[in-house]
Structure 1
Amino acid sequence: MIIDRLIATDRLTVNCAEVEGRTGEPVVLVHGNVSSGVFWHSTMAGLPPRYRPLAPDLRGFGGTEPLPVDATRGLRDHSEDLLSWLAALALGPVHLVGWSMGGGVVLQLLRDHPELVRSLTLVNPVSPYGFGGTHGVDGRLNSPDAAGSGAGGAAPEFVRLLREGETGAESPFAPRSVLDTAYVSEPLAEPDRYLAAMLTIRVGDDHYPGDSRPSGAWPGFAPGGRGVLNSLAPNHFRIDDLEVVEPKPPILWIRGSADVIVSDTSLFDVAHLGALGVVPGWPGADACPAQPMVAQTRAVLDRYAAAGGRVREVVVEGAGHSVQVERPKEFVAALVEALDGA
């Protein structure tokens, strides 16, 4: 049985899902943006008894204390929350699994504290160069203020419906519609628990999406200093030297081939939407090309491998952004192989 438990740490109180009575090697499952640990329940149920799966909610998500997010620290508010939670449970080195934004969180933890990581699994992770506002495999900024990334890119209607707890699908921006069309490649047979998890997110300048600043560069906005989307902006979050960490735990990178969120042509990247004519005034591919998110991740992991790290990439054909939800058996099989080989 999967149960929730509140853990008091020296930073905040964390809600964590776990399999009741399970012991073994700890596997920490870190969720993505606009979600919670609920998105890991099928993974938790599928892991063999020799592993102890734990799925904490990040601050402002699920049942965890909704402290504000200081976006100028990138994802370190979240990674340091995890550190304090690991210490509170005296877990020692763990297997880390991060999905989407959670992939960035576990990358940050690996970069800062590699001695605490037995293995790292990235599931459709955010690029090591953040989300939006960059070009090239080396993550060069499109403009010095990272215009085109951060909270200004959130659809106002989606934010409003999140705040209101909308459960219907009348609007294409309704959370249920976004779940059906962006989180997965095909609508789920039983989506309600995932929708409920999405609706736990705190909405506002300190949480989702965050604050925004005007910019003289297209599309006219730049990241603010508060909130979730700004913590993913490339002027705040950037991991371009992963190859220097020691020790180097093995890394599994697993992703769906049909992901429309983290992609080299992401439908959530303002630059790509500009190229499609959805956002007016796009200055062209020379000035503002689509962010090559997958290629950027591959470049960082290739350098990690060249420096002696072990990296394996698994592509699940036809799956979307939430491989662990859409293809639970394939996902658990790949994850167990990585855990067993660590």
Structure 2
Amino acid sequence: MFIHGNASDSVYWEEVMAALPAGFRAIAPDLRGYGQTEDLLIDATRGVMDWVDDLLALLEALNIDRYHVVGHSLGGAVIWGLLAQDAPRILSVTLAAPGSPFGFGGTRDAEGNPTTPDFAGSGGGTVNPDFPARIARHDTSGEAGSPRDIINRFYWHPPFRSDREEALLEGLLREKTGPERYPGDFTASEHWPGMAPGVHGPINALSPKYVGNTVERLLAQTHKPPVLWVRGDSDQIVSDQSLFELGMLGLLGAVPGYPGQDAYPPQPMVSQTRHVLEKYGPYREVVFEGVGHTPYIEKPEAFMQEFTAHLERATQEVSL
């Protein structure tokens, strides 16, 4: 089961699905709020659990008992919740540039401690409103700040361009937008940068305010399926210096009023994932050089080599 990231949909997994070895069945749903799903709202106060419940319902409808799961970016963040909820049925986990298990924004160290009491700097208010507005009007231009421009500057490492750019752009543009959808609402905060999470939409669902005890729950599982973690060394979205996270943007002078690195350090997203996986147990980290946020599209052959070997190892362990 393949789980896509934010500002994308299941189309992003098509090439990997087509390249799977014989004997595997590939399923790639559109998450709630994305792609061709019906327009159901996301209750962000449940963290990623609306998506987890939807995926479990899909598996039940298809009579699937055990499965391998693969997630990219937001999809990786959903997998943290899926592992905490359904680990005994999962055969293996593959994470491609996953979101931090502690959420996106608002935490200060590898242990995921909050930067402020109200998790200011995370949630729907952190998204540049121009981007969802461009999605809403189906902007297919290549001008600065357009969805096409964001894909080619941040989804992968320039000068890479996908030969499926039009299909991938259309997948991005199918995301549902609005105050209760993407990016969601926000509340005022007395802490820098002046906004804290609201209660609607996918970006609020990724706030550490609502992730809750996900890490504690997944570490408490007795069955721990093996994890393959693949990322690019030039990822600017999920990084210890993410250009989409306000602590880093403040440090660079891009957000006014920055209180300094001691008060609001950049979120160390990669370090947080490594910290949790080292406590978790069976995992392997693979880093591709010169690759950005979407390693399975930028380096498909190298990704498939690692991925299929991971599937084979996990399948052999189950058969034993």
What's the TM-score bracket when you normalise by the shorter of the two chains?
over 0.9
Mapped partners of 1:111, 1:228: distance in 2: 19
Percent identity over the alignment is 44
Question: 237, 246, 251: which is aligned to 2:222?
Answer: 246
In the other structure, the counterpart of 2:150 is 178
Mapped partners of 2:211, 2:142: distance in 1: 33
Q: Does 1:302 align with 2:278?
A: yes
- Note if contact 2:162-2:297 (Cα within 8 Å) is conserved in structure 1: no
In the other structure, the counterpart of 1:265 is 241
CA deviation string 1:51-84 (max 9, x = no partner): 1111110012111122000000000000110000
Write out aligned runs for 1:316-327 (5 A): 316-327=288-299
Mapped partners of 1:206, 1:157: distance in 2: 16
Q: Does 1:328 align with 2:315?
A: no
Range with bigger deviation, 155-164 or 287-296: 155-164
Mapped partners of 2:39, 2:289: distance in 1: 36
Q: Which has the higher contact order (CA 8 A, sep 6+)?
A: 2
In the other structure, the counterpart of 2:318 is none
Question: 133, 138, 143: which is aligned to 1:160?
Answer: 133
CA drift of 1:208 comes to 0.5
In the other structure, the counterpart of 1:18 is none
Structure number having the greater helix percentage: 2
CA drift of 1:164 comes to 0.6
Mapped partners of 1:140, 1:92: distance in 2: 36
Give the AA of the match of 1:328.
P
CA deviation string 1:21-40 (max 9, x = no partner): xxxxxxx0000001001110
CA deviation string 1:105-134 (max 9, x = no partner): 111111111112111111100000100111
RMSD over equivalenced CA pairs, Å: 0.9
Mapped partners of 1:197, 1:326: distance in 2: 17
CA deviation string 1:5-29 (max 9, x = no partner): xxxxxxxxxxxxxxxxxxxxxxx00
In the other structure, the counterpart of 1:275 is 251
Mapped partners of 1:118, 1:189: distance in 2: 31
Write out aligned runs for 1:1-342 (5 A): 28-170=1-143, 172-186=144-158, 187-190=160-163, 191-238=165-212, 239-241=214-216, 242-305=218-281, 310-342=282-314
* Unaligned 5+ runs, structure 2: 315-320
Mapped partners of 2:258, 2:215: distance in 1: 28
CA deviation string 1:209-233 (max 9, x = no partner): 0001110000000010110100000
| TM superposition outliers: structure 1 runs of 4+ over 3 Å | none
CA drift of 1:196 comes to 0.4
The secondary structure found in structure 2 opposite 1:32 is: coil
CA deviation string 1:219-266 (max 9, x = no partner): 000010110100000111143223211211111111111100000000
CA deviation string 1:31-50 (max 9, x = no partner): 00010011101101111112
Give the AA of the match of 1:48.
P
Range with bigger deviation, 61-70 or 286-295: 61-70
Structure number having the greater strand percentage: 1
Mapped partners of 2:8, 2:211: distance in 1: 20
TM-score (normalizing by structure 1): 0.89
Mapped partners of 1:266, 1:312: distance in 2: 22
The secondary structure found in structure 1 opposite 2:215 is: coil
CA drift of 1:201 comes to 0.3
CA deviation string 1:260-319 (max 9, x = no partner): 0000000000110000000011100110000000000000000011xxxx1111111111
CA deviation string 1:122-160 (max 9, x = no partner): 110000010011111111111111000111110111121
Mapped partners of 1:156, 1:107: distance in 2: 28
The secondary structure found in structure 2 opposite 1:145 is: coil
The secondary structure found in structure 1 opposite 2:15 is: helix
CA drift of 1:189 comes to 3.9
Give the AA of the match of 1:313.
E
Mapped partners of 1:60, 1:326: distance in 2: 26
- Note if contact 2:80-2:215 (Cα within 8 Å) is conserved in structure 1: no
The secondary structure found in structure 1 opposite 2:276 is: helix
Give the AA of the match of 1:45.
A
TM-score (normalizing by structure 2): 0.95
CA drift of 1:207 comes to 1.6
